[in-house]
Amino acid sequence: MIARASIKIIPLLLSIMLLVACGPAQNTEQLPAETRNVILFIGDGFGAAQTSLGVQYARLIEKRELNIESLMHDGNTGYSLPLPFDSIVIDSAAAATQLATGQAVRNETLGLNPDGYPIETIVEWAHEHGLGTGLVTNMRITHATPAAFAVHQGSRYNSEQTLMDDLLQDGDVDVFLGGGARALVPAGTLASAAFPGIPKELDGESIRDDEINWADELAGQGFAIVSDSTSLRQAASSATKLLGIFSADSLPYVIDGRQMSLSTVPTLAEMTSAALDVLSRRDEGFFMLVEGGRIDYAAHANDPGTLLHEILDFDAAVGKGLEFQRSHPDTLVVVTGDHGTGGFSFTDADFGPATELLLDSGIVYQPGCCYPPNDRLNILFQQNASYSYILQQADMDPDKLVELVLVHTGLEMTMDEAREALVRDEQGLPGTKDFRRYHTDPDDSASALLGLALARHNYVVWSTGEHTSDLVPTYGRGPGAEKLRGIYTNTHIYSVMRETLEAGR
């Protein structure tokens, strides 16, 4: 009896197992593939040190989680090794090319393999397959990160005109939002002539040597052209293609924009929402890049308050992506950095006498070192103009510098510190030769010297004015995001995004 019953049960079990095994496969064949979107957020210079600063500030001062922290909780977190071809430090052009193509490439190149041949980017692939594409940045749109997604050049430092022509000529991007109007307008004209919303503080002359007017050209191709936040919002509700350019060069630092009352310039979050409005109307799905590019600049300049505000601005844009993902679960959101910059850290160094404290227990607490109190995070947040803005206003006058530093950072620097911050060598370059070895850009060095002079007050130290080799935290939510766990070179991120998009074909 037992044996006979078993014989009857086994075929039944087998057929159930077969049904279970075949079920999903049959469904996949019968139903059209689910449309998939990918939104890639790149914080330029957003390495582990920058992530720590943002998360610590939000937790300890605002008592909240950053959007990236919530993504760490309910998404998938891993670490990306930003390794280019044959080096251990990467630049933004190579890093973005690697994220855009999945291949390790030479530093400072855009969209070329190590032998110098063009490689297809994820934007080009997406466009070819009928998906919408968008590049959103607070830098000029020809800057290394956005350019690497649609440009193929031996150097990111080729002329802006060359990069712009390369970026626009193939027509594979549907939404451009950012800066860089000076390479879009004919020689001898102002950026504001074609982009009237650009405020005078952000205006500038064309850098072109010809009569090409890309604003007219793209308008003829069906692009809505906007240059302020109101027209951006309006156009986003109906446009299928959108060119929004808000500055002749890159957009200003968030705090400098506020300082100059540039209220018509959209935030990175506003640009992200506008791009999502346009691209989400595409039935075929879309790929979109959002770059928080000024994080890197603030870190090159060793300017911690500006850095914090740029991180918060980037995080607000990430929030828009996550909000969209919640209502469109077929969307993969990836947040990463291209590399760390500056080697930012708070530290417990010899910045003054450690304070003595009588505890309730009667123990006299006397630490051996001076550890930065939590309020140093708030000191950074209260900074309301960049070091570069402050130095420009101070115009090499130490008295003025002391006054402006107090007004814009709340820190009381001494006259000696102000003089140290304004040291120039016989060629008029900031700092000593030793200092400049690690701070190669003269504007950044001037700002970094001020950073050094203020270290005793804010407990902030920096290791360089250039890029660092630290691991880059990487997070994702949506289809394929589980493959972002663990540790990998940044080329893996490309594979994850590409597989997600392909699964939607």
Q: Which spans of this chain sit near Zn ion (rule: CB under 5 A)?
A: 296
Compute the least distance from the CB of residue 158 to Zn ion, in Å: 17
Q: 3-state DSSP helix/strand/coil percent for the chain, to nearest 5?
A: 45, 15, 40
Q: How far is the CB of 467 from Zn ion (least distance, A)?
A: 6
The two tokens of residue 75 are 């998404």
In the complex with Zn ion, which residue's Cβ is closer, 92 or 331?
A: 92
Cβ proximity of 113 and 103 under 8 Å: yes
Q: How many CA atoms lie within 13 A of 107 on its CB side?
A: 11
Helices (H) and strands (E) in the chain, counts: 22, 16
296/417 with CB nearer Zn ion: 296
In the complex, the smallest distance separating the C-beta of residue 440 from Zn ion, rounded to whole angstroms, is 11
Cβ closest to Zn ion, residue 270 vs residue 296: 296
The DSSP output letter for 440 is -
Nearer to Zn ion, 417 or 444 (CB): 444
Instruction: Write the DSSP assignment of 487-501 as a string of letters.
Output: EEETHHHHHHHHHHH
Question: 3-state class of 476 per DSSP?
Answer: strand
Among all residues, whose Cβ is closest to Zn ion?
296
With contact defined as beta carbons under 8 Å apart, do 198 and 157 qualify?
Answer: no
Query: Measured from the CB of residue 443, what is the shortest distance to Zn ion in angstroms?
Result: 13
Residue 405 three-state SS: helix
Nearest Cα neighbor of 474 from 54, 57, 75 is: 75
What sign does the CA torsion over 8, 13, 18, 20 have? positive
Residue bearing tokens 């074909």: 505
Q: What DSSP character marks residue 214?
A: H
CB nearer to Zn ion: pick between 228 and 338: 338
Q: Among residues 277 and 296, whose Cβ is nearest to Zn ion?
A: 296
Output 148 or 168, the one with its CB closest to Zn ion: 148
Residues 6+ apart with CB under 8 A from 174: 127, 132, 133, 134, 240, 241, 242, 278, 279, 282
State the minimum distance, in angstroms, from the CB of residue 466 to Zn ion: 7
Beta strands in 190-262 (DSSP E): 224-226, 242-245
- CB 335, min distance to Zn ion, A: 18
CB of 441 to Zn ion, least distance (A): 10
Burial tier of 477 (Cβ tally within 10 Å: 0-12, 13-18, 19+) = buried
Question: Between residues 98 and 325, which has the closer beta carbon with respect to Zn ion?
Answer: 98
Instruction: Between 158 and 393, name the residue whose CB sits nearer to Zn ion.
Output: 158
Backbone torsions φ then ψ of 139, nearest 5 degrees: -95, 180
Residue 84 near residue 490 (C-beta atoms within 8 A): no
> What is the closest distance, in whole angstroms, from the C-beta atom of residue 239 to Zn ion in the complex?
32
